Every structure is written in C-alpha cells, then in structure tokens.
Amino acid sequence: MADKTCNVCDQGLSAPIYANNERTSITSLRQIIEGGTTVYLCESCCHIQTSALDNLSEYYDRSYELLTNSEEEDQIYGITNNEKIFRYDHQAKTLLSLINIPQGTRILDYGCAKGTTLKKVIRQRQDIQPFFFDITDRYLPFWESFLAKDRYATYTIPNAWIDSFDIVTSFFSLEHADKPGELLQEVRSVLKKDGILYVVVPNVLENIADFIVVDHINHFTSTSLSHLFEKNGFEITKIDENSHRFSYIVIAKKSHRDSITASAAEPAKDDSIKSQARSSADYWRDISVKIAEFENKLPPNTKYAIYGSGFYGVFILTRLKNKRGLTCFLDRDPFRQKHELAGKRILDPKDLPNDMRTIFVGLNPKIAQESIKMLNWDRTNLNLFYL
C-alpha cells in the first residue's frame, strides 16, 4: 500500500507512531474534516509522513484556498517590540537576503497561490522577470492583473518553460505533495543549468502542530530533506533552520547528474530526530487528556475564550465538551478579526470581555507564555490553560 512506503526514500514503513482516536482531523486551513490522522516514521531516512487524503488532487483544486479574501490578506509571522510582522513580507525579505539575484533573473514561483511573496520582491527589484504556477486555477484573479498570460500556468508546466528559469521558489508547497520526488523532478526540468531552487517547508520538530496537520503529507526533517533533494538531482548548498521561524529553508543547485548519492547518515543526529518524532506522538496522545482534565475542573456553565484562531485554537475547540461555553476567539491578526470561527467572533485581545476569566491558549507551546505576557492584560485572576 502507498501509505506503507516512504515518500522520500521508498523504503517500507512499519506500524504508525501516531493514530488519533477521533472521527475528525484538522487541515492547515483550520478545516475540520471526516477521518482520522495516521503518522509514520521512516527508520531509514527519518522522514515523518501522514496518510494522504482521499481525492487529494481534487482537494487542492477545489477546496484549498489560501488567504483569498483580498489581495492584502496575510498572516502574522511574528511580533517584535509589539509590531506585527507579516508572513509574505518576511518571506520576500528573507529570499532577497539569502540568495544573490542577478539583474534580469527569471524566477518561477511554483505552487505560488496568490503569488504575494514574489510580487513583494518585484516591488523592490523591478528588473526581475516573474512567473507563476499552481495546480489550481482558483488564484487566477490575483495573477491576471499582474502578469501577461504567457507568464503563468495552471495544472501543467508549458513546454516553453523547460530549461528556462534561473531560480525556482516554492513556499510551503512540498509538504502537501504525495509524490515530492516527482515535484522536484518537474522543478528540475524547468531550471537552467546550475539553476537555483529555494524551498521553504515547515519544521515539524519546532512547530509540533505540523505533526498532525492532516493535509501535510510530508513532515520533513533535515535528514529526509537531504535525502530527497540529492536523490532527485540537486546539490544542497544550505539548509537554514533559523531565518524563517519554525521552518526549514533549503537552497539547492541543479546538479548535472539526475541523482546524487545521499550523504552518509549521522547516527546520533538520526537517533535524536527519531526520539523527537516519538515524543511528538506522545504529546498529541496526552494533550487531549490534559484539556479534558482542565475542563472538568471548571464550574458548570463556565464561559471561556480561546486565544488563537489558527490550528492550535481549532484543535482545542474539537476537544472541548462544553462548546456552548465558548464566547469568542482572540487573535492579534487584523485579517482574522474581520471574521468568525465556529460561529463566534474573532476579537482583538485588547477587547477581551470584562467578565472573561477562563482562556484556553491555542498557540505553539514554544511561544505561548511569552505571547500572553506581551498582552499586558490588567487582570490578576485569569485562569489560563496552555497546551
């Protein structure tokens, strides 16, 4: 069966290290869908892999929409000195800082969605020649006013693009691919000799939510990334774990060879990765119990808020029994504050209702307590639950 074979090294996979006991799972877009989540660990290349959704191509073509409410819609990447930094701005700034882009460079953004990152790059570097590609036509309205028709494509790469690009970028696409090797082979085909591939993917060891995001089929580690890229004809020049929080940035050059012998394994490093993967599985098995224990101690009819309207917040919601007690979500993202989630308003944290005392904090555990401290809520009797 396909689920029993590693997407990176093609080795057989043993029993899953995690399988939830729920009838639903959560996608990267916070959608609650039918079916469980099953996660495997490859003992050979340290890849972490989730069973693929049924009708995967149709899902991405017709159901997956990323930030399509407006051209400006974005996500908060981080907050520094109380100033919000948005994801697309950070991605554009980081790309320009990490690779040299000569005058007139042809860049293809593969799996580009709205194409916002490359659009922001072009505003600073108007000499660059941009191109867009995605496996759906849902983003065409965002491209048509920006590019000529011969500079974007959907579903199939045009023959005219073969061996034509100096740089290909891919921001958070590879984790969705059920055949990541084939994706890299297609990217390799459109790169010129010695062309550069710049890829950003989640770091599951730093953002534990990625471990159970059901539409992220691939949860890459530094070891599995090296194996995947080298196997598919790329020479990795850098795997950067620091420039984009909770993510890997892979910078690789198109090799003259179709395949490169994978680098020798580092046993201690591999053992550490496998240990962290199993700890992540334990974490998600235990956290539902901890949420239930906290909820059971609350007085009947307690009203509560969930801080965070992203994956962690939705996860908490799915585990709570008293959903009638939910009053609102809290989120500092101004784009999310315009909407509702699960029929409840998403409020700026500064608008926390005066009588609200119980808050479930749905943020990455690595930053949750620091993020709450930054709010400077003038209340001493808050009852906070942290994941």
0.85 exceeded by pTM: yes
Is 76-261's fold the same as 298-386's? yes
Query: Does the pLDDT value for residue 65 go beyond 90?
Result: no
Closest CA to 316 of 368, 245, 379: 368
| Residue 228 near residue 60 (C-beta atoms within 8 A) | no
Burial class (CB in 10 A: 0-12, 13-18, 19+), 288: middle
CA atoms in the 13 A half-sphere facing the CB of 86: 14
Tell me what percent of the residues of the chain surpass a pLDDT of 70.
97
Per-residue model confidence (pLDDT) at position 200? 98
Question: Could you tell me the two tokens for 196?
Answer: 């550069």
Q: How far apart are CA 40 and CA 47, in angstroms?
A: 8
In tens, the pLDDT along 28-63 reads: 988 998 889 999 999 999 999 999 888 777 777 677
Average confidence score pLDDT of the chain: 93
Report how far residue 189's alpha carbon sits from residue 232's, in angstroms, rounded to the nearest whole number: 11
**Domain ranges within the chain, ordered by starting residue:** 76-261, 298-386
Name the residue with tokens 């790059």: 121
Q: What angle do CA 149, 152, 158 make, to 5 degrees?
A: 100
Confidence class for position 70, pLDDT limits 50, 70, 90:
confident
Q: How far apart are CA 47 and CA 196, in angstroms?
A: 24
Rounded-to-integer distance, Cα 66 and Cα 59, Å: 13
Please name which of 2, 41, 140 lies closest in space to residue 151, comparing C-alpha atoms: 140
* pLDDT higher than threshold 70 for residue 264: no
In whole angstroms, give the CA distance from residue 359 to residue 312. Answer: 13
Confidence at 1, pLDDT banded by 50, 70, 90: very low
282-337 pLDDT, tens digit per residue, is 999 999 999 999 999 999 889 999 999 999 999 999 999 999 999 999 999 999 99
Q: What is the pLDDT of residue 54?
A: 81
Would you state the pLDDT for residue 2? 45
What's the CA gap between 150 and 157, in Å, rounded?
A: 11
Distances (CA, A) of 270 to 205, 236, 273, 277: 13, 18, 5, 11
pLDDT digits 0-9 by tens, 199-248: 999 999 999 999 999 999 999 999 999 999 999 999 999 999 999 999 99
Q: What is the CATH number of domain 76-261?
A: 3.40.50.150
CATH class of 298-386: alpha beta
- The pLDDT, as a whole number, for residue 22 is 80
- Please tell me the distance from the alpha carbon of residue 245 to that of residue 261, in angstroms, as a whole number: 30
Phi and psi of 382, rounded to 5°?
A: -75, 140
pLDDT for residue 268 is more than 90: no
Residue 3 has pLDDT above 60, yes or no: no
Task: Let me know: does 210 contact 197? Beta carbons within 8 Å.
Answer: no
Which ranges of 137-266 does DSSP label H, i.e. alpha helix? 140-143, 180-190, 222-231
Find out whether 42 and 305 touch, Cβ atoms under 8 Å: no
Tokens of 10: 């093609």
> Where does the chain have alpha helices with state H?
56-58, 87-98, 116-124, 140-143, 180-190, 222-231, 267-296, 311-319, 368-375
pLDDT at 265: 62
Contact (Cβ atoms closer than 8 angstroms) between residue 269 and residue 223: yes
Q: Do residues 237 and 199 make contact, with C-beta atoms less than 8 angstroms apart? A: no
Distance CA 196, CA 262 (A): 19
Going by the DSSP 8-state scheme, the letter that residue 142 receives in this structure is H
